[in-house]
Structure 1
Amino acid sequence: MTDTMPARRFRHATMRDFPQMQKIYAHARELMARSGNPTQWGTTFPKEEVVLDDIANHRTMLLVDRVDGRERILAQFALCPGEDPTYRHIDGAWLDNDAYVTIHRIASAGLVRHAARDCIVWALKHYGNVRADTHPNNKAMQHVLETCGFARCGLIQLLDRPTDTTRIAYQRHEW
């Protein structure tokens, strides 16, 4: 065994990754529930058809490494360019109205530390103006976003569900 860490890289997800991605989302749902955030993703979010659509439209990015010759998915997230309809109305104010990308559905496999942070840093490096949101009970994601320099911009309301819709909105713009 060596003292060096396996090289990490980012790549787009493919349909072959879907079964492992579903396991990672299940792990994330369990972790959220144990951490006092049982309702953000409940037992069924993200829906299978949303994950498949993200993959088909090249929105899903994977953080991967190789151990013993096998690739492992360390974390995954959807990177959504263009205006997010959910972000049109905010109780607060965005940093600006410039073009941005949104990080959605980020989940770590739990195999290494700081995998979610690495995903966010990668998005900032490649896109510069990034928005995200998270549930008020998701203290872990709030911490990650804030330690990555994101500003709390206010509250938004999700459009795709009838209850538990309030989310804290974040933005960071690399000027």
Structure 2
Amino acid sequence: MTDILPLMRQAAGRTSALVRKVGDEHLGLPTPCAEYEVKDLLNHLEWGASLFESVAAGGPFTPPKEYTGDFPERVERMLAVYERPEAWEGTSEAMGGLPKVVLANMALTDLVAHGWDLSRATGLPYEVDEETAAVVLAFSARMAPTGRERGAFGTEVAVPDDAPPLDRFLGLIGRDPAWKP
């Protein structure tokens, strides 16, 4: 196992707490992900949790499903798989041969980025600790060219070099840290 598992647990807990506060009145709001409204973003979070659970267990790529409102339960199942040593070993054929450790970092990045997106869209609070921000920034800096090529990251948004790690991470993946609905 790796030292990012505690960061994954923290990010999953914070994102689940935020998701539980989202009401029906929020579902149609725009998000920093131009292609998603809040309901679409929640659906994406649910799908991501199920996808990372499957590929960490050596399973197939799972297609997205309709929003069901069960993100907290799905992310707990994902974390349960990451408790097993084999979730960190080898590669995932379902994800094009990517190392499973890379997939775990992708899961963490997804939780942090979309937790922030959801917070911005709804106006609900969401905190990212400095250690987690630094980890996702470093990972995303290594993956940015591939992430943009595959459509996972948007065009980089210029952020000052001395900005906090979270803001630099957000700019790197194509988010404007000052975004407001």
| Shorter-chain TM band | 0.3 to 0.5
Higher helix proportion: 2
Q: Which has the higher strand share?
A: 1
Q: TM-score, normalised by structure 1?
A: 0.33
Higher relative contact order (CA 8 A, sep 6+): 2
